[in-house]
Structure formats: C-alpha cells, structure tokens
Structure 1
Amino acid sequence: MDKQFAYLIYFLFSLKAGVLAWPYFWWHLKRRGQGESFFPRLGLRLPAGELPAGSPRLWIHGVSVGEVMSALPLVEELKKLLPRAAFLITTGTETGQALAHRQFAPHGAYVCYFPLDIPWAVHRYLDHLRPDVFIALESELWPNFLLSARRRGVRLALLNARLSEKSFARFSLFKGYVVELFNLFEVIAAGSPQDYARLCALGLSEDQVVMAGNLKIDRLLGLRTKAVSSTLLSTAPRTARGENSATEALSASMPGDLREALNLEGQPVFLAASTHPGEDEAVIEAFEQLLGPYPSLVLLLAPRHPQRAAEVGRLLRQRGLAFQLWHRLKAGQETRTQPVVVVDTIGDLLGLYGVADVAFVGGSLVPHGGQNLLEPAAWGVAPLYGPHVGNFLWAKDILDAARAGITVHDALTMAVAVRNLLDHPDLRREMGARALAALAPHQGAAARQARLIVKMLCGGPTGA
C-alpha cells in the first residue's frame, strides 16, 4: 500500500473517530472521576492565558506524571543553554496536568493539554501555540500531529525515546510506515541500550539514533541532591529505627516532613507503590502475613491512579484492616493511628520512598510492564518487583548488575522477601547502598539531550 494512501486512511479514520467516539472519551474520563480535559483535548476549547515571550519557543510534551517529572532536569539544562527560550509544557492526562502546573507554571512556562490526534484539534493547537521546536518524550508518535507540525516548519525531536518489546512487535508489522514517521524527527535520543537496539532493529539509521542516557535517573538524583542539601542546612537526621541511615536523613528534609506526618516512632514501614488492579490483593495478603512477626509494621499502599483509593479502601475493609487516607494525614487533619495508609495524592510518592524500609514497585505482578524501579534506589532502598517489567528492563539491568533488586511473584514470595530484609537490617542497608551507587554512572542525560536540541537548532550533526 502506498504510504500517502495509508496516511490518508489514518487521517479519515481519525476524523471519523473525532466525530463519533467523543461519547466514549467522555465516559472514559468520567469513569475515572475526571472530565476537565474533555473540551481542550478535543480542540473545542483552546488554552487560556498569554503565551510566554522568548525565542525559540520550545514545546515539550510528556503524556503523564512520569514524563512530566522527567522533563524537569531537561528544562533546567535547556534554560542554561537557551536562556531566552520560551517553554510550552503539555500533558495528555489530568494527573500529569496538575503536576505540570505545580512544577512549571510558577517558573514562567505555559502549561496546557495536548490535543487528541484528530485533524481540527491538531491544527487549532498548532495555530495557537506556534512552536519553533516540538520535543516529544518517550513514545509519543501521533501521525496527524507530526505531519502537520513538520509541514509548518516545526523542528521535531524525540527524547528519552522508549520502544517496548510489545510496541516493537506491533510496529514491525507496519515497518515502512512507522519508520517514515520516526524519520520526521531530526533528533532521536534513546533512553536505554535496549530501546536503542530496538529502534535500530526497526530500521532507523544508527546515525539518526543517539544513546544519551535516561532523564529519569537525572531527575531522581537531582531531587536527592536537593534533599541532602536541605538536610545539611537544617537539622541532624533523626534515627527513628536506631539506624543513622541516609534514607532517614533525606526523608526528614522532604516537604511537610513526611515522617512526622505519618507519626512514626520506630515502626518499620513497607511501601507498596504504583499498584494496579490485581496487585493490591497480593500486597494486603503479604502484609497480613507480616503482622505476625512485625505487629507494628506500617503499610503505605499507593495505587498508581489515586482515584482508585476508594476501591483499595473497600479491599482493606473486606479484610478487616483499618486504614487512613494520606491526604488527611498530610494536611494535619488526623494523626496516624492505623496500620495502613492509602496514598491518595499526586507528587508525594518519591518522598515516601525516603520513609520506607522496604518498597515494592507495582505494575509488575500483573502484565502492565512495570513502573520506575529506580525511584526507591535513589533513596537507598533496594526495590522488590514482579516479573512483568518489560517497560523498565533497562532499569532492572542496572539493579541486577548491582545485585540490588528482588523479584517476587505473589503474596507469599513478597512476604518472604520483605521479612528477610526486615530480619536482616545489615543486608537491607547493603543492598540499598548498592542500588543508590548503581545510579551514579548514568547521570548526565539531561545535559546531553539538551545539547542535542541546541545542535539541531544550530544546524550541526546530532548523531553519535
């Protein structure tokens, strides 16, 4: 099939979808307790507010929370190299939008939603925002948007590029068309060696794809450095567990003093982070098994999507476990007295890793592909995770090389692994130290990727 004909088919399909599928989009949002993004993403309501002055105008897009956080060190580096630039930050989810407003808007960036890939929405946003450069983070490949932007002379870059095994297999079926879309990008910076290899295997030139490291590591180490600096300027770290650990020192410096908000007085803490449906049950069962040897154990249960807090609460009530909601503890409305805390906020998870003795990273017991396994490592906590980590194999490889990660398969193996780490604090500290040390050699991705953008704008070669 001719490529132009294929793009025409996609154009017509997306046009029809935009007209007919809006009820599903509305239902999808409402099912999650959302709806704010409906009109903006359909292109029916353009973003409000005055666009920032400056040149070049850089549009950076990250679909949700993880990508928004990864953009932080990149924007910092771009500001150093392009001090007169204006920044536009877009997201595809409402949770990502809330975080972007908190992180970027106070510093002069223009924050709004990214349009759905339907023709009228794409054209309205491009007419309104008028970017000079569009930077997509990770895996944002939208044909209508990319083709329209390129026709308008917008320079395109894909940074922290991610191509999972599943996407690689799917894209391979339509290799000719997909490679043409990737070729619209002048710069592609792979986020890991595995992603680099898959992008090249797909048919992209090795000169076109650059291995530049992963922004997520820079973001984690940057936040840790700020926490350490804050700690040194404030008070000496507390040793609530009788251990003068780096984790305690750092957690004491986090906003709102998370340890104090949790009313911890020496109790061990088990954090189950970014859990998905089907994982909460295993975490709760493992916690129940651990209460025998560790009756004072505190469970922090953080579902990947905070709007699932009510669902998680129902599971806990069914098992007869009392719990409290984190937002009430954080606000000082309640004092923690119960063994379980359900984390129902955005933006606090990274700090809570600094409070944990043991942490499980979700999205990995079920076939989702995992979440960022390195977040606990940044706080000196060796993570537990399930076997389904296909989206984060690069992170697992880092931890495996350092012997600093543990794979679990169900409630029983999770309980055994957590108890082993709680029973052997020296082993726990040693593995945590190895996990943290494993990140250092991978630092510097934000500076490298920012330099690629500058080289692109200056017309120089961007390849390796």
Structure 2
Amino acid sequence: MRGPTPSLRWPRQRVHPTRMRAKPSLRCNCAGPAPLSSRMEQDFRFACSRCPRCRIAALPEAMSPITHLYLGFSMISGPLWRLVLRRRVKVGKESSVRLPERFGFYRRQRPEGVLIWFNALSVGECLALLPLIERVLEELPDAHVLLTSWNAASEVALTAARPPDRCIHVFQPVDTVQAVRRFLDQWRPDVAGFYGLDFWPRLMIETGRRGIPMMLVDSRMPDGSFRRRKRFAGPMRDILGLFDRLLLQDKASVPRFVALGADATKISVVGALKSAARPLPAPEKELAELRQQIGGRPVWLCAATHRSEHPAIAEAHAKVIEEIPEALLILAPRHVRDADEAEAHLRKRFAHVARRSREERIDRITQVYIADSIGEMGLWYRLAPVSFVGHSLAPGLEGKNPFEAIALGSCVLHGPETSFFAESYHGLGQAGGAIKVDSAGELASNAVLLQSSALRKPVLEGATKVVTDRRGVLDATWDAMRQAVPQTSVASPTFVGGL
C-alpha cells in the first residue's frame, strides 16, 4: 500500500527552504525505508505533514567548513571530554555521582506526554527560567519540563529553589555525537528552548535534525559579543538558521542577530526574563545566624565582582571606613577561584578579613567578609541594604544582572560597563532605580549615603516600578512558545546515521 505523499509546507515541518534541495525520488518513512543508496544521498530533512512521527534527518546543505570541521571533531572528542571532566571532579567542580549524565546516561526515564526542554548554562540562568517553567506547567497540567544545565553548581541552587514537581533537572551532555544522541534518544523532547547566547553546535544541530521546534529564549547580543562572533559568521549562520523563534531581550540586539544570519521574521523582542525572576532563596537558620553576628553594623555588598575590580573596591571601602568606622563590606566574587587574590588585595588595607570558605565568623572587628561560596547570593542581598553589582567598573567588562538585588530590597550601584544589560540599566537609570558610579570615590560616597533608609526609599521605589512594568515578559515569552507546543507528544524516534 502506497504511503501518503510527503508535504513540505512551512512552518509546520520546520524546514529551511533556502538550505535544502528536494529530490523527487525521496519518500517519507510512512512509505517504508528508502533504498540504501537513497539514504546515503540524503543531505536534508523534512517531516511528513500526515505523520508527525516521521523524520528523515540529515545535515543542512550549505553548512560552513568550520561547522563541518567541528562536527567531525565531535565524533572523536569523547576521550578528551573524559579527561577534562575527571580533572573537574578532582577539583570539586563536577559531581562524580552524576558524571554519567554528561555522556548521555540517565537513571530517570522520560515521563509520558508532552515534554518541554530548556537548556541553560549557569546557576543564574536556571533560576531565571523557573518562573517560565512554572507558567508552562500551569498552562499544561499534563506536561513535564526537562531542565538541563552545564554548571555543576546549578544542582545545589535548584535544590534550594525547589522547582515544581514536574520539572526534571539533569546535566547537559558533552557536545559529542554519541552523548548528544543518547540524550535525545532517551528524552525525545517535543519543544526545545535554549537560554541566552551559549551555543553547542552538535547538540543544536542534532535537535534540529529531528524536527524538534527550537527556540532561543531570553537572548541578547551586546556589541562586544557581536564583534567576537562576527569572526565565526559561517557557524553562527548555521546555528541561528535552526531556530524557529528567537525571543530577545532588547531591540538593539535585533540587527546584530540578523547580520549574523537570523531570519528577521522569526525574531520577537519580549524583554528580560531575569526581571521577572523570583527572589533568590536563603536558609532561614543561616540568615538569622549571620544577622546576629553582624548586629546593627552598617553593611554594603559588592556582588559578582571581577578580579580587576578588587583594588578599586578595597580603595572604596577604605573611604567608607573613614566615614563609618564600624562599616562591614561583604565581597562576593563572581568566581570563587578569585577569592585568594581578592583577599591579598584587601589585606594590604584591612587587618581583619574573614572568609566564608574557612567557616570564619563575623565579629565586631571584622572589616571585610569574603563570601566565597556558591548558591548563597540570597543571603548576601538580604543582609546588605546597598549592593554594588560588579563586572561593571573596570574597562572591558559587560555587567551583571541587577534584578536579583532589587527583588530582595537592596539598592543597586553599578559601574559604566553594562553592555550585557544595557537596556535594563538604562530603564533603571531613567526611573531612578539604580545609581551609576565611575570611580572608587563615587562608589564609596554612595555606599555611605545609602545607609540612610530615607535616601534608599526613592531608589527602591524607582526600581520596583521598573520591575512591575516588566512583569509582562512571562506572558510574551509563553505566548511565543505556545504555538510550538503540541497537544500530544510527537517525540522523535531514535536517529540513525549521518555525520
């Protein structure tokens, strides 16, 4: 019996017409397997409109040489990844118990029904996705969400944040063909959402090959990133061409994505998801203990700092102590590995420096407390009424998320280098919800002034107004995703063959 005639209608099949060459003799899987010679010639993919489970997968026709080279490397890079991950386990950056997940081996099984997959890199990105995940599960009571992350610290942070019951967290596989295909074979997601601007070519290309709708969520393209990625225009065009929708944070990113190969008709500007993120968690017992140690001392926080900012921060705190001798600085470096260098800078000026990693207490003579821990920013923002959000004071930096501090009632100070969150900081500045500082002196003077609750009040009110105005970002993001979510699972079958 002859099977149904395959249809190449757009957009259901998610075919990229400019990057495929249809062959009249091709048959869909409904008609039975094609001859071996035909399968060997396949260099494109399509989905039969009458059979959503039918997939014929292969590479896009016009991939750049660099992309082909990377895909070839991903077929033999497994041993290298094993060496890298073993070293990470030794230094405590990887979980030995869950190491098999990096290679596509998972203890949990795929749940029945629709499965929405989100992929994020770090702790902050996972936490930013939680409100969207909650919204998805609220709208789809029978669906599940798979959340994958790269950073091992995200496991601890997500445990503390308590994601919904129908949200499954596993670690992202390494970008080898074997690990990626095992991952996709087991989980068979119905929709894939990739957060931010971190691209994994093998993972994304294999996802696209299976006809899984792909979305780029909460992404942006600062000028610095655009200049760097222009050097790899071919691979960027290949990857961006896979996405069915690109949901961006700001309008300034749109022409940059288009210049790198994205289809302008697929781009929507919905705002930053991080502005709608729920407050970071903090253990009540530890919070109460730290408050008892601090007592009534004035406190200010330098959060997510870069190593190049530490000398200026030390200078600023010295000026703060001149005005308020009992003031305490909590320093939370962006990378824990920078804590030793930060301590060396601080000890040149301050005799009493304590560190979280050494389990040292804050006493009445402690001048600086280095919070070199992971997943505890909820503690520090709650303790400090004033927060300098780092990665923004020294040249060449690009800023960090201000909304974590705002959500916990801490006034935001920031430097001039905020290109990663340019639109967010611009909106906060216009509303008086954040204060820009250009030097250690300005940082110190504002840290002193904002110890007054009366002076903090208008700043917090301006920041709260900005956050309230942006609550619609969840609605806009979900509305854009809803169109791609099937009523019932049409999970792709196991893929066999191809580069």
Match of 2:311 in 1: 281
Number of matched pairs:
424
Tell me which of 150, 156, 164 is aligned to 1:92. Answer: 150
Paired residues of 2:81 and 2:174 also in contact (CA < 8 A): no
1:223 maps to 2:252: no
Matched letter for residue 34 of structure 1: K
Q: Please give the per-residue CA displacement for 1:292-335, whole angstroms capped at 9, x wherever unaligned.
A: 21011111111113354444344444434323344788xxx956
* CA 434–310 in structure 1, closer or farther in 2 if over 3 Å, else same: same
Report the TM-score when normalising by structure 2.
0.76
- The alignment partner of 2:304 has SS state of strand
Matched letter for residue 390 of structure 1: S
Match of 1:354 in 2: 382
Provide the C-alpha distance between the structure 1 equivalents of 2:313 and 2:64, rounded to a whole number of angstroms: 50
Provide the C-alpha distance between the structure 2 equivalents of 1:52 and 1:101, rounded to a whole number of angstroms: 20
- The alignment partner of 2:383 has SS state of coil
Match of 1:392 in 2: 421
Match of 1:10 in 2: 70
- The alignment partner of 1:384 has SS state of strand
- RMSD between superposed Cα atoms in Å: 3.1
Paired residues of 1:302 and 1:344 also in contact (CA < 8 A): yes
Provide the C-alpha distance between the structure 2 equivalents of 1:16 and 1:368, rounded to a whole number of angstroms: 35
Match of 1:184 in 2: 242
Matched letter for residue 364 of structure 1: S
Provide the C-alpha distance between the structure 1 equivalents of 2:159 and 2:110, rounded to a whole number of angstroms: 15
Match of 1:462 in 2: none
Gaps of 5+ in 1: 228-252, 460-464
Provide the C-alpha distance between the structure 2 equivalents of 1:200 and 1:449, rounded to a whole number of angstroms: 20
Which structure has the bigger radius of gyration?
2
Match of 2:225 in 1: 167
Match of 1:339 in 2: 367
Tell me which of 294, 299, 307 is aligned to 1:269. Answer: 299
Match of 1:238 in 2: none
- 1:102 is displaced (CA, Å) by 3.8
Q: Please give the per-residue CA displacement for 1:139-158, whole angstroms capped at 9, x wherever unaligned.
A: 13222111111222322111
* CA 348–151 in structure 1, closer or farther in 2 if over 3 Å, else same: same
- 1:88 is displaced (CA, Å) by 1.4
Provide the C-alpha distance between the structure 1 equivalents of 2:376 and 2:223, rounded to a whole number of angstroms: 30
Gaps of 5+ in 2: 1-60, 488-499
Report the TM-score when normalising by structure 1.
0.81
- 1:273 is displaced (CA, Å) by 0.5
Alignment of 1:44-443 (within 5 A): 44=103, 46-47=105-106, 49-103=107-161, 107-175=165-233, 177-219=235-277, 222-223=278-279, 255-256=284-285, 258=287, 261-263=290-292, 264-326=294-356, 334=361, 336-337=363-364, 338-366=366-394, 367-422=396-451, 425-443=453-471
- 1:17 is displaced (CA, Å) by 4.7
- 1:131 is displaced (CA, Å) by 1.8
- 1:281 is displaced (CA, Å) by 2.6
Provide the C-alpha distance between the structure 1 equivalents of 2:136 and 2:70, rounded to a whole number of angstroms: 34
- 1:54 is displaced (CA, Å) by 3.3
- Identical columns (%): 26
- 1:68 is displaced (CA, Å) by 0.6
Match of 1:243 in 2: none
Paired residues of 1:328 and 1:334 also in contact (CA < 8 A): no
- 1:78 is displaced (CA, Å) by 0.2
* CA 83–140 in structure 1, closer or farther in 2 if over 3 Å, else same: farther
- 1:81 is displaced (CA, Å) by 1.2
Q: Which has the higher helix share?
A: 1
- 1:276 is displaced (CA, Å) by 1.8
- 1:384 is displaced (CA, Å) by 1.5
- 1:41 is displaced (CA, Å) by 7.8
- 1:21 is displaced (CA, Å) by 6.5
Match of 1:241 in 2: none
- 1:53 is displaced (CA, Å) by 2.0
- 1:82 is displaced (CA, Å) by 1.1
- The alignment partner of 1:61 has SS state of strand
- The alignment partner of 1:34 has SS state of coil
- 1:419 is displaced (CA, Å) by 2.9
Paired residues of 2:196 and 2:219 also in contact (CA < 8 A): yes
Paired residues of 1:362 and 1:385 also in contact (CA < 8 A): yes
